[in-house]
């Protein structure tokens, strides 16, 4: 085998190792929280994330995941970190809170960033904060195969009272939409997954009241 082929294989394997993407990520968000963040008060959004890994949950893997739990709990606001296995795969379910803020350099791993778009229209985007790379480095020191990607398939459950929003692209209540605009009086479910959303966070536009 040539050196070039060996280098390509090593590169492909290393790329795979650092591509730990959540099977699902759900964020609960309210219009009142967005309004509060715009006014300068940092809020918190509830989230649930599920990661799946192939292979049974043996003692070695469990010890590694417990070490990662300590790292994640130290850097994030975590309520539950549950590790389970069924013989063929291992699951990690995480529940907690991420900030909602207008600060573009927030000292956190992930958060909902609110930015002025034009006039009273703001972008609401799931993104990484300043702590993401540090958190990834700490997890990599335990096992690089568990390092999380920056972005994941994301579902945002948005509750509001007469809030005007626009979804540039994504699934709205299970249907694919492009430049979907509507007034939300109740709840709408937005999902951002696959394609470009593997590299950028899900985004929608919110008109300030």
DSSP character string of 13-44: HHHHHT-B--SEEEEEEEHHHHHHHHTT--EE
Percent of the chain with pLDDT over 70: 91
Residue 112 falls within a domain, yes or no?
A: yes
Residue 203 has pLDDT above 90, yes or no: yes
Cβ–Cβ under 8 Å, residues 100 and 29: yes
- The residue among 126 and 87 whose pLDDT is bigger is 126
Instruction: Give me the domain span that covers residue 83.
Output: 19-207
Residue 65 falls within a domain, yes or no?
A: yes
Place 209 in a pLDDT band, splitting at 50, 70 and 90: confident
Lowest mean pLDDT among 15-24, 29-38, 118-127, 156-165: 15-24
The pLDDT value recorded for residue 179 is: 97
Residue 10 falls within a domain, yes or no?
A: no
Residue 13 falls within a domain, yes or no?
A: no
Residue 20 pairs with which residues in a beta bridge? 148
Return mean pLDDT, the chain.
91
The pLDDT value recorded for residue 195 is: 87
Span 146-162, average pLDDT: 96
Residue 180 pairs with which residues in a beta bridge? 167
Place 19 in a pLDDT band, splitting at 50, 70 and 90: low
Residue 53 falls within a domain, yes or no?
A: yes
- Residue 125, number of CB atoms within 10 A of its CB: 17
Percent of the chain with pLDDT over 90: 84
Lowest mean pLDDT among 26-40, 44-58, 189-203: 189-203
Total domains in the chain come to 1
Residue 11 falls within a domain, yes or no?
A: no
The pLDDT value recorded for residue 18 is: 43
Place 86 in a pLDDT band, splitting at 50, 70 and 90: confident
Residue 2 falls within a domain, yes or no?
A: no
Q: Give the integer Cα–Cα distance in Å for 180 and 123.
A: 14
Span 66-78, average pLDDT: 98
Cβ–Cβ under 8 Å, residues 31 and 107: no
Residue 16 has pLDDT above 50, yes or no: no
Residue 85 falls within a domain, yes or no?
A: yes
């Amino acid at each position: 085998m040539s050196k070039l082929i060996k280098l390509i294989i090593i590169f492909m394997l290393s790329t795979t190792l650092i591509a730990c993407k959540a099977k699902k990520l759900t964020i609960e968000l309210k219009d009142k929280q967005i309004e509060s963040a715009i006014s300068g008060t940092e809020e918190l959004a509830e989230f649930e994330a599920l990661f799946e890994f192939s292979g049974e949950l043996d003692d070695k893997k469990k010890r590694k995941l417990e070490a990662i739990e300590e790292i994640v709990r130290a850097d994030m606001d975590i309520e539950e970190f549950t590790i389970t296995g069924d013989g063929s795969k291992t699951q990690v379910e995480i529940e907690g809170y991420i900030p909602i803020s207008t600060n573009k350099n927030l000292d956190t791993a992930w958060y909902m960033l609110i930015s002025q778009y034009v006039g009273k229209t703001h972008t609401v985007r799931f993104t990484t904060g300043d702590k993401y790379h540090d958190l990834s480095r700490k997890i990599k020191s335990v096992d690089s195969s568990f390092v999380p990607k920056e972005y994941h398939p994301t579902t945002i459950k948005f509750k509001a009272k007469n809030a005007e929003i626009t979804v540039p692209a994504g699934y709205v209540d299970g249907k694919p939409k492009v430049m979907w605009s509507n007034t939300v009086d109740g709840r709408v479910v937005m999902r951002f997954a696959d394609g470009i959303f593997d590299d950028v966070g899900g985004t929608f536009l919110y008109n300030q009241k």
